[in-house]
Amino acid sequence: MPGLDSIRNSALAIRVLPFVIFVVITSLQGSFGVESKYWLYLLKSLLGVGLIAWMWPVVREMRWNFSWEAVVAGIAVFVLWIGLEPFYPDLDELKSNEWVKKIWPGSVADPVVAAIAPQWNPLNHFSATPFLGWFFVVVRIVGMSLVVPPLEEVFYRSFLYRYIKHPDFEKIPLGNFSPAAFVVSCLIFGIAHNEWLAGIICAAIYQGLVIRKKRLGDAITAHLITNLLLGCYVVWKGAYKFW
């Protein structure tokens, strides 16, 4: 198809559009009833596999690489993500504060509504049908471990970081260090996550790994390790607030 071919031939579009599609579906989770967040997560994960397969031949940096630095980075980010949680307010908590309402009118959820909003907990929601509950647990862990890392790393670490430095981003080596691009891209990644502070630190570690190794694959591996450990921790401890 000519339209799809033009997207694949655009270095920007092929890195941005799949991520945007993934984010749009994420934003719709729960919009069609509580159960829709589970089924839409399944849909976006399956679609994500297709998007990765579509990107793979032309996004050359989208290749997994294994290194001891990637393992250390992945474990470190997991520990920080869990360990920092009690010490700062996440975005949901910030949005329920009155001072946020004053500086961000009309965008703050009612704190009572926020407090009673159901967590992403398939084992609880599908308690009458445990098979479905565990099915969606597996879907979540597989999706966040194998689908999310390549899409996010290509967008944030390959495209966004380099694009901030120069619109002709492909000319910027992955190992190039730009202080402004580093700070801005880390902040954007951070505020895209409810655990914003951990997200900023996470982005700094992953981006630092890309710069050190001069390739993207180690960051994809580190991201996989972080998300796999986080998924297992969530189910083990029942810490569904991280989902």
Instruction: Kindly report the three-state secondary structure assignment for every residue of 40-55.
Output: HHHHHHHHHHHHHHHH
Q: Is residue 220 one of the residues assigned to a domain?
A: yes
Cα–Cα dist 242/160, whole Å: 25
Model confidence at 110, pLDDT cuts 50, 70, 90, reads very low
Cα–Cα dist 214/63, whole Å: 13
Q: Is residue 44 one of the residues assigned to a domain?
A: no
Measured CA distances, 3 to 7, 9, 10, 14 (Å): 6, 10, 11, 12
Q: Is residue 26 one of the residues assigned to a domain?
A: no
Mean pLDDT of 57-72: 95
Mean pLDDT of 82-109: 72
Q: Is residue 110 one of the residues assigned to a domain?
A: yes
The phi and psi torsions of 33 (rounded to 5 degrees) equal 105, 160
- What pLDDT is attached to residue 126? 94
Model confidence at 9, pLDDT cuts 50, 70, 90, reads confident
Q: Is residue 180 one of the residues assigned to a domain?
A: yes
Query: The tokens of 218 are what?
Result: 């180690």
Domain count, the chain: 1
Is 142's pLDDT higher than 60?
yes
pLDDT in tens, 143-173: 999 999 999 999 999 999 999 999 999 999 9
Give the position of tokens 């000319």: 171
Q: Is residue 12 one of the residues assigned to a domain?
A: no
| Structural contact between residues 206 and 223, judged by C-beta atoms closer than 8 angstroms | yes
Cα–Cα dist 212/242, whole Å: 29
Q: Is residue 88 one of the residues assigned to a domain?
A: yes
- What pLDDT is attached to residue 74? 98
- Of the listed ranges 15-19, 84-88, 112-116, the one predicted with least confidence: 112-116
The more confident residue out of 128 and 111 is 128
Q: Is residue 183 one of the residues assigned to a domain?
A: yes
Mean pLDDT of 129-133: 95
Is 98's pLDDT higher than 70?
no
Is 224's pLDDT higher than 80?
yes
What range defines the domain where residue 158 resides? 63-242
